[in-house]
Structure 1
């Protein structure tokens, strides 16, 4: 069996040894080298040609973000970032995902000798997954622009912040909502979908992105800065508004409830589902109770099957159109594959066409 060759990059000798020990306990993985900073890492990549890199964000001489940019430009390969849960650490992690990092692992903040053991399985699983994943192309960091929605079959309406073309909704009285579930590769995928949604869309969007606590606020802030719609981290008890995307807080489930004539959000820490909190299934199941809403459900890149059970329930309990990301554009074709396997998906689209598919359903009479 050919082993997965890993380069471990961290300025802490303790962390380098610990990560190396974690990885080499697995027969599938071989640590071929270590590096002490970003500059050292770039040289070691050229010398050792590793399959996967674990890269600390905060390092002297050259930090992980700067090293990642060079690596993804000169010799792209899967990179897993190790990040602190501080505000600055979270912001840098989201930036790293934009630059093409495969995924990240949050460094535990408690007693280092005990808490680091908790990330062992996550680290090993992500290294193995990274080897067989598709590389994501770095996004346009300056403005987040991607391919704009096709103007065909749409009347031009100037959106407040980016002038996206969108067909006029002739059925505004029908209440609709959009619910999106995603995991590994999701932050980059969301940046190829939400910025294309027009500000005047008459529906809310709910997003479950598998993330630990401390990172979803930075993700929401970044998405809000490049989108026409408002994007925010969901808060417990808040009243839902159209034209806003609500991202489930990391480490918490998000449920949508009916309160009078309005929708409100419930955020809680009930049991982990499918290994995740937040869970797509939990969000989807709460939406099943909203009988007077039509739903557009989207499953994008990620490992596992989260969302498939809830998607079946949505289809059984109401008027729903389902979209799954294609295998070709998924960084990890796990969640979308499971969704397609339910045989209830209406459209399979590359990530750069998912926003168009959403708007097609928003403006249709399904």
Structure 2
């Protein structure tokens, strides 16, 4: 029997774990589950597809410059372990997913240890938002780039890096089986009771910084609206920490775990309060008006803000080039400001309807309705292997 195709997948965060799992499923569908095997680094979603990670990726979920410096020793060890795994398993191709700080180091390590290994980067650094020089750095470290956004390729192609726009898998999430009424019934909520869905993030640093702000925001809203129901989405990567924090909140809060329950909760929600991230696209697909917030460490924010060129941080706001969903960053992300923005949407059905319509139109600008992005990514990976 011939050796199965061996694909190394490396993801360091929850969003990358989802991308890697989708790519693994698509590769199995294209070549046959018995003709491909996976090695690498990932989380629970990739583990379901057969990726046995040598370490827990949660300690790689690092936010900000200062946090990155503090974690340098840990990251360096994890990079070495990842390269050692590749040397041992001898993959046919390596796919490094998002997480710029970690994966660029892995790419350089793989290039040094295995010069003939083809390396594909899945999701490039956001050079259109800051530090455009990273495009040249990436071009010198990998063989091909797969991007989520149609506006990405020119930035990298001008540096000589073959780049393929495959689309954003978040735009292909299927909500056809999601049922908001089921979520309300299962959690003893009336069909008309207002529901605030809170999404604090999937990284430990996000939970540490955003959960206290969201708790105070929710407390203000609940004090003025006793009938307001609250639900918190719990990501696998930070489940224990977040559950412990929410358990101390002075009002009932529904904990939402698992993908199916999350989709039901999104369909049931009246308004969402979310930490900035890919979840904003999911909420827009579910038809939920949202308020976005984000905080970094003070020094990290000061350094990052000096390099930022983008006017917005939410993807559909960027696509539309205007502030459809309100964004509150750093010192502006106060409980008072967030509570006011959420309250406006709870109290004004016409504002909710207007925002939902504008979010939906922006999703079309982002490429909603295109062929399955995971399948497109699998085609690129296979073409790179064949070219080798």
Fold similarity call, TM over 0.5:
no
The two structures have a TM-score, normalised by structure 2, of: 0.30
When normalised by structure 1's length, the TM-score is: 0.31
Greater RCO (CA < 8 Å, at least 6 residues apart): 2
